[in-house]
Structure formats: C-alpha cells, structure tokens
Amino acid sequence: MIDLYTWKTDNGFKALHGFEESGVEYTLKPVNLQEKEQFDPDYMKISPAHKIPAIIDHDGPGGETVSLCESGAILKYIATKAGGGLYPSDPLQQAKVDQWLFFGSAQFTTLAQQYGFYMVRNPEDVPAGKEHYTTVLTEMFSILDKHLGDTEFMAGDFSIADISIYSDTRIYGDDKWIGLADYPSLKRWHDVISGRPAAERAWSAFE
C-alpha cells in the first residue's frame, strides 16, 4: 500500500489521477495547504521542499520503503509499478512520453501557476503580470492544440504525459480563464479524458 500525501492543486490532482488510472492501491493523506500542514516537520521529512504531492511506498522494490516527491517522478514510479500502458516499455516511446511529461511539469504547470498567481492569488492588482501570463498561457494552449491536431493523445496512446498536462488544462480551460473555445483539438482531448472514470474519481476525491 502507498500513502499519497496531496491536496486540491494542479500537481496534487496529477498524482491522484495517476493512481486511479494505474489501479495501484493507495491511501489518501490530505495535506491542507491553507492550514500550512506542508510545513509540519514530519511531512518535511518526506518532502523537504514542503511541496505536494509526495508518497511513501511501504512495499517498494526489494521490499524497501520508498519516499518520493515531485508529481512527474511519482507518475513514472506508479506507472512503472503498475505495468501496462501508462508508461511504455519501448525506449523510443518512453522518450516521447517523457518529452510531454516534462513539458507538463517544467513548462506548462509552472507558467499556469504564475497565471493563477496574478489572476487569483496576488493581493495586488498587477496588470502587466496579468497580461504577460495570459499571453504566455494562451501560447501554451496553442502549442498543445496544434500538437493534438495530429495525434489522439500527447504521445500516441494514453499515458502519464496526458495526466501531467490534463490537470492545468482542466483548471484554466474553464471559460472564466483561458477557455477552450479557440482550441478545438485541445478541447476534444480534454473532453475525452474528462470522461474517463479514473479522472472522475480523482477529481472528486476531496468531495
């Protein structure tokens, strides 16, 4: 059994979605960011940078206990543990999945979080910041829309790359933010994933 420490954020839902798609059993351990639970000394032993998500696998390789943080690393770990198609065995296909997995975590989510900061969380109104990150995130949506015009999923078959990118698309694809009306291929992909039972379970986990 794996303990999953997470909360209601883009990265937090990535891990939940990955577990639900993989079928790997887990126990949900909420870390309430509003209550600053991520700074608890015991939690920081698991995630030294006090970020979510994080996991503890009590039955890791060789029977060892494995502690891990960072959403991309967690997605690869549980997909590999589960076997199957979420992370392919072919090295070339792995590289293609990794490309979009890392795009999701290193670029898309990072920029989406900055957009969210200026549009929602910043106590000061900074029009230049809002304009800049709206332009940047709109460009990200355009990149994804163009790519998905030629492929059903991010790297061929459905994989952890899709899970990595879906989270912020779901949040900021809402009409009150960037929206998806101008990105038909991205919307088609988003709607397909939204209809997956695992996605529905993951995004209702805190209800």
The reply to whether 207 falls in a domain is no
Does 13 have pLDDT greater than 90? yes
- What is the rounded average pLDDT of the residues 72-89? 95
In this predicted model, what pLDDT tens digit does every residue of 37-53 receive, in sequence order?
999 999 999 999 999 99
Residue 78 is predicted with a pLDDT of 97
Average pLDDT over residues 17-24: 98
Which of these three, 45, 60, 86, is where a domain ends? 86
State the pLDDT at residue 156: 92
Q: Is residue 183 part of a domain?
A: yes
Last residue in a domain, options 86, 121, 146: 86
Give the number of other CB atoms < 10 A from CB of residue 157. Answer: 15
79-106 average pLDDT score = 95
Question: Is 106 found in the same domain as 80?
Answer: no
CA-atom Rg of the chain in angstroms: 17
| Residue 63 predicted with pLDDT over 90 | yes
Give percent of the chain above pLDDT 90: 97
Q: Is the pLDDT of residue 110 over 90?
A: yes
Q: With beta carbons less than 8 A apart as the criterion, state whether 53 and 12 touch.
A: yes
Which residues fall within 8 angstroms of residue 24, CB to CB, at 6 or more apart? 2, 78, 81, 82
- Average pLDDT across the chain, whole number: 96
Tell me the C-alpha distance between 7 and 196, whole Å: 21
Residue 130 and residue 175 in one domain: yes
Using an 8 Å Cβ cutoff, are 20 and 199 in contact?
yes
The pLDDT, as a whole number, for residue 197 is 98
Domain presence at residue 206: no
Host domain of residue 178: 91-198
Contact, 24 vs 42, CB < 8 A? no
Tokens found for residue 84: 């199957």
Looking at the structure, do residues 101 and 188 belong to the same domain, yes or no? Answer: yes
pLDDT above 90: residue 149: yes
Q: Where are the beta strands (DSSP E) in the chain?
A: 2-6, 26-30, 54-57, 66-69
Which two three-digit tokens encode residue 62? 């060789």
Residues 95 and 157 in one domain: yes
Q: Are residues 23 and 111 in the same domain?
A: no
Q: What is the pLDDT of residue 10?
A: 97
44 and 126 both lie in a single domain: no
The enclosing domain of 14 has a CATH number of 3.40.30.10
185 contacts 152 by C-beta, under 8 angstroms: no
Q: Report the number of distinct structural domains present in the chain.
A: 2
Residues 6+ apart with CB under 8 A from 33: 7, 9, 52
Looking at the structure, tell me whether residues 74 and 122 fall in a common domain.
no
The predicted structure's pLDDT at residue 84: 84
153 band by pLDDT with thresholds 50, 70 and 90: very high
Helix 71-82 and helix 160-172, axial crossing angle in degrees, nearest 10: 140
Q: Are residues 74 and 120 in the same domain?
A: no
